[in-house]
Every structure is written in structure tokens, then in C-alpha cells.
Amino acid sequence: MPQSVEADRHCLVTGANRGLGLEFVRQLLARGDRVVAACRQPGRATALNTLAGEYPGRLHVLPLDVASARSRDELVRELPLVLDDARLGLLLNNAGVLHGGERFGQVAESDLETSLRTNAVGPFLLTQALAPLLADAESARPGAVVANLSSEIGSIARRQEFRTPSYAIGKAAQNMGSVLLAQALASRGIRVVALHPGWVRTDMGGAQATLPAEEAVAELLQVIGRLEAGATGLFLDRHGQPVPW
Ligand code: NDP
């Protein structure tokens, strides 16, 4: 289990109620971080609410529909109350959506819009709105990391076939957002990276996927923990190897 670089670091995870998001919350708590877990329906987030009981005061569950401007605004208003003067050391833009079974000739505008809003617009605007709450680099402490859960399916360079177009377009747009955020936040020592987790067994990845969520998340947290100062605007896989844009 990788250790937290900074004791008592505050982390925010979106899409935290299931899949990779839930596993990020588990592993961050287990290593001693404080976590704000954001999800669309906290009242139904049974696993998160159980964890909140196991880690009193260290896990807060807040509502967030990342595709909704009003919901993002509410989170931005509520977060300072939870952080209590602290800044975020890690923002994990994990929430994502994939529409399966799309075929050329039948790609629906609504699926493209949902993917763009959820996979690209939401994380970009949420990060922009939360920027004042992200930790700046200081002499004794590295700046915050913003980690955007991307996918090699969003890599234009690796594109080989017509598959999941709305997801591919959404993640490619997210990737551009990651690079622009990296540029915007570099002067504060805040690093922004796009991460490809591999093919992971979650609702999205499906039962045939090769990796358990525990392994993918542990490796991604190691990649984040190994990022050096100035390592920003990168697209990395779970081994820390660059993925071509
Ligand atoms: P899941 O489908 O298992 O979980 C998706 C999560 O995103 C759920 O918590 C879901 O919440 C949340 N979500 C979806 N839309 C919204 C929204 N509008 N607002 C807030 N939350 C939302 O996916 P994974 O855990 O597998 O994927 C996590 C991330 O990793 C995604 O960004 C995905 O693209 C990426 N990824 C996953 C891969 C894999 O193989 N699994 C491969 C490459 C990338 P709810 O329960 O409310 O729907």
C-alpha cells in the first residue's frame, strides 16, 4: 500500500459510490488521508455510508452530479465547511459514463452530449471552480495533484477502430482539458495528469475485464505518489508509462 506523501491530506473523489471511485475512497482512507466522497445520490450510497461509520470524521459524503452546473456550484459552496480551512491535496475526477453498443449511422446526439458533459465539461469546470481550494506548492510541501480518470480509448494516436464514439470523443476532450488545466495551474505548483487505469472489472469495464479494481487503484495511487514536482500535463497508464495523446 503506498503511503500518503503528506500526513492528513484532504482528497476529493467524484463518482465515489461504486467502481474505481469507491475503491479510491477505500484505499485513501486506509492509508490515512481524509476524503470527501462525492456522488449523485448519497442516500443510496450504502458502501460509502458504511465506510463513513468506520472512519468517523475522516470521510464526508457530499452530493455531486458532475454534469450539472447547479450541483457543482453547491459542492463548491459546501466544501470549505468540510475542509475547515484546509486545502485539497488530491482531486480525483473519476466520475465517467460510457454508452455501449453505438454503431455508425446511429450515434445519438443525447449520448454525445451526456458523454461530453460528464467526461469532459464537468471535470474541467469543477477543477476550475475548485482551483482556489487546491493546495499550492510550498517549500516543504508539493502542490496538489488533479488526477483525471481518462482512457486510452480517448487517445487519438492509439485509435484503431470505430468503437464507443461518444465515450472516445468525451475522453479526448477531457484530455485537452487536462493539458489546459495543467498549464493554468503550473505557476502554483499544482500538477494535472490524465490517467488510464487499464481494463478494470467494474460496471463499466464488465465481468471480462482483466484487472480487479483493487489492483488498478493501488497502482494508480503509486503513480500519483511518484509524480515529481513539475510533472504535469502528462497522460500516464497504471505503470506510470506515457500514453500517446
Ligand atoms: P462505473 O461505471 O463502474 O462507475 C462510474 C461512476 O461514475 C459511478 O459512481 C457513477 O455514479 C459516476 N457517474 C456517472 N455519471 C455521473 C455524473 N453525472 N455525476 C456524478 N457521478 C457520475 O465506472 P468505473 O468505476 O469503471 O470508471 C471510473 C472512471 O475510470 C471513469 O471515468 C471511466 O471512464 C474510467 N475508466 C474505466 C475503465 C474500466 O475498465 N473500468 C477503463 C478506462 C477508464 P452513479 O452510480 O450515480 O451512476
Residue 58, domain extent: 10-237
Is residue 134 in some structural domain?
yes
Compute, in angstroms, the gap from residue 22 CA to the centroid of ligand 1. 10
Q: Residue 149 is inside which H or E element, if any?
A: strand 145-149
Q: Which among 76, 15, 6 is positioned nearest to 34, based on CA atoms?
A: 6
Pocket test for ligand 1, best of 20, 25, 99 (most atoms within 8 A of CB): 20
Instruction: For 173-218, write each residue's pLDDT tens digit.
Output: 999 999 999 999 999 999 999 999 999 999 999 999 999 999 999 9
Pocket mutation for ligand 1, best pick of 41, 97, 169 (most atoms within 8 Å of C-beta):
97
Does 1 reside within a domain? no
Task: Quote ipTM for the complex.
Answer: 0.99
Q: Is residue 157 part of a domain?
A: yes
pLDDT band at 3, cuts 50/70/90? very low
Cα–Cα distance measured from residue 116 to residue 97, given in angstroms and rounded to the nearest whole number: 9
Tell me, in angstroms, the distance from the centre of ligand 1 to residue 50's CA.
20
In a domain? residue 2 = no
Q: Is the pLDDT of residue 4 over 70?
A: no
- Res 20 pLDDT > 60: yes
Is the pTM higher than 0.95? The answer reads yes
Instruction: Please state the domain count of the chain.
Output: 1
Nearest CA to ligand 1 atom 7: 95
19 Cα–ligand 1 center, Å: 7
Name the average pLDDT for the chain. 96
Domain annotation covers residue 42: yes
Q: Are 166 and 154 in contact (CB under 8 A)?
A: no
CATH number at residue 133: 3.40.50.720
108-165 residue pLDDT tens: 999 999 999 999 999 999 999 999 999 999 988 899 999 999 999 999 999 879 999 9
> CB burial class (10 A; 0-12, 13-18, 19+) of residue 68?
middle
Number of other residues whose CB lies within 10 A of the CB of residue 244: 9
Position 245 in a domain: no
